[in-house]
Structures are given as structure tokens and as C-alpha cells.
Amino acid sequence: MKLEILGNVQDGGVPHLGCNCSVCDAAREDRDKIKYGHSVLLKENDNDDSIQYLIGASADIRFQTTGKIFDGIFLVDNHFTHLVGLLYLGEFSLEAENIPVYSPEFMENYLDNNDPYRYLKDRGNIQVQNMEDGETEDLQDGVEVTPFQTVKRTEHTGTLSYLIEGENKTIYYAPIIYQEWTDRELERIRDADVAIIEGCFYHSDEVGRYADNPPHPLMPDTMDELEDSDTEVIFTHLNHTNPALRENSEERAELEERGFKVAEKGMEIEL
């Protein structure tokens, strides 16, 4: 199997509503420069009948994949914008039948207590498969997926990362990290062959309301932590304000010189 990157930006996408920066304006003028919300796909091959597991249900789900119905969806967060893609499985869109949605108990409780997600369960559009922290799910061709709760934002919410283990390669997928990396998360990155990780902001002042307290670790700080790691590190979940999105920026040149990469739509990694 292989992993395909379907999107690499923060929830609002590119172009971002209400923004006229050069990145967003370029995407409005040239649809090839549109960037989708972060998510990845595990698939057997590129054929229409391939097994497909989605990790992350972004608002761009309609554009990110083929017409094939997923064999399962793994959730990354119960923040609204990380679940909204599930709505396209419902009555007024796909009207899916019992698509497995892999979720820990705290996320299932959120789905049960919030319309319209509860409606998806009641109609049988989705079938929630309970999956607890550190519990491995066997997929196909020897591929295993293990979730880890990275942060408990409140009593009823949290964020998941995933260890994806194939016959030839191990990938650690941690697209959303709040405030700072823990030692355990950094250890998982260093133990993996490839890590696709949080890279929302490069500078603390990119968004005025977060200038004094950025909600995610800054990319330079993450690079400092992982400078000596042998892991191939790929940043995802970039905000539209992040200058590293621009291929000709000083920030992109700096991170590439330091041996890091930015995720791009269509990038594939063999497992």
C-alpha cells in the first residue's frame, strides 16, 4: 500500500475567505494553485477498485478523491472543520451505507451529542468503530494503523496522531499539535522513517490575534528539535499566511536547506 497526500493546509484552505494575500489571490486566478485542507489517503494502488482509507475528513473531501467510496475513515480531531467532510456522506449528498468511521470514545460521544453528525449515525450513513489510544487496526498487505491521543483540549475533545506501519516503511502522521511538542511525540517522529507533521505557522505574528500565543508550535522551533533526526520530515497543516507555502520564499529555502520538506497535494509514499 501507499500513502497519498490529499491536502496540506489549515482548515480554511487556499484561497482563504476574506484574504487577499498573494497566495490566496494567486489561487483565485489560477485553480491549479488552490490548496486543500490537510488529509491523507491510504490506498492499495491507483485503480478505481483500490482499497482506500481516508485519514481526516476535511471540507474539501469532494475535490480530494475519486468517486470511489472509502473503505473507512480515521478521524484526527473533533474540531468542526476536521469533521465537516463527514457531512457529504449523508442524505443530501452521497447517502452512504455504513461507512466505517474509526473513532475513540471521546470523539464518538461528540458525534452522538451533536447534530448533524448524530443524524449520520441514526440513518446508517456511518458506522462508528471504536478505536482506543494505542490500539492497532490491521488494514491490508501488512499495513497497521495505531492512533495516539496527542492533546486533550478539553474534557470532551482531543487530537489524534497515527503511526502507519507498512512492510517497508513506517510513517508518523501528526498534522495537529497544540502549543508544543511533547517528548513522546518527538520520540515517535525520530523512530519513524517518515513524519508528516504540524507546520501551521512559521512566524508568531502571521495572525494578529495569535501573535502573543501561537496555538501551534512554530516551524523553526520544530526544526531545531529535529535537526539531528534521520527521519524524513514533511510539514503539513500550513496556514494560508505561512510564507513557506510560497516556493520562492526565504522561509521555504531555509527549511529545504535544513533538510525538511513541505507536503504537496499528490505526493505519494510507498509503505
Residue 106 pairs in a beta bridge with: none
Question: What is the edge-to-edge ordering of all strands in the sheet holding 268-270?
Answer: 126-130, 99-103, 72-74, 52-55, 39-43, 2-7, 268-270
Q: How confident is the model over 2-61, as pLDDT tens digits?
A: 999 999 999 899 999 999 999 999 999 999 999 999 999 999 988 878 899 999 999 999
CATH superfamily of 2-270: Ribonuclease Z/Hydroxyacylglutathione hydrolase-like (3.60.15.10)
Q: Cα–Cα distance between 107 and 32 in angstroms, integer?
A: 34
Is-contact 5 267, C-beta < 8 A? yes
What pLDDT is recorded for position 49? 85
Q: Cα–Cα distance between 196 and 168 in angstroms, integer?
A: 17
What pLDDT is recorded for position 157? 66
The alpha carbon torsion through 210, 212, 217, 218 (nearest 10 deg) reads 90
What pLDDT is recorded for position 154? 56
Separation in Å, CA 181 to CA 156, 159, 176, 201, 229:
21, 13, 10, 14, 15
DSSP 154-178: ETTEEEEEEEEE-SS-EEEEE----
Is-contact 71 49, C-beta < 8 A? no
Q: How confident is the model over 5-15, as pLDDT tens digits?
A: 999 999 899 99
What pLDDT is recorded for position 211? 62
Amino acid at 203: H
Residue 130 in grid coordinates: 471504536
Residue 166 in grid coordinates: 507498512
Residue 177 in grid coordinates: 499539535
Averaged over successive runs of 10 residues, the pLDDT of the chain (271 residues) comes to 96 93 94 96 89 95 86 89 91 94 91 93 96 92 93 68 97 92 96 98 80 81 97 98 95 98 97 96
What pLDDT is recorded for position 156? 55
Question: pTM to 2 decimals?
Answer: 0.95
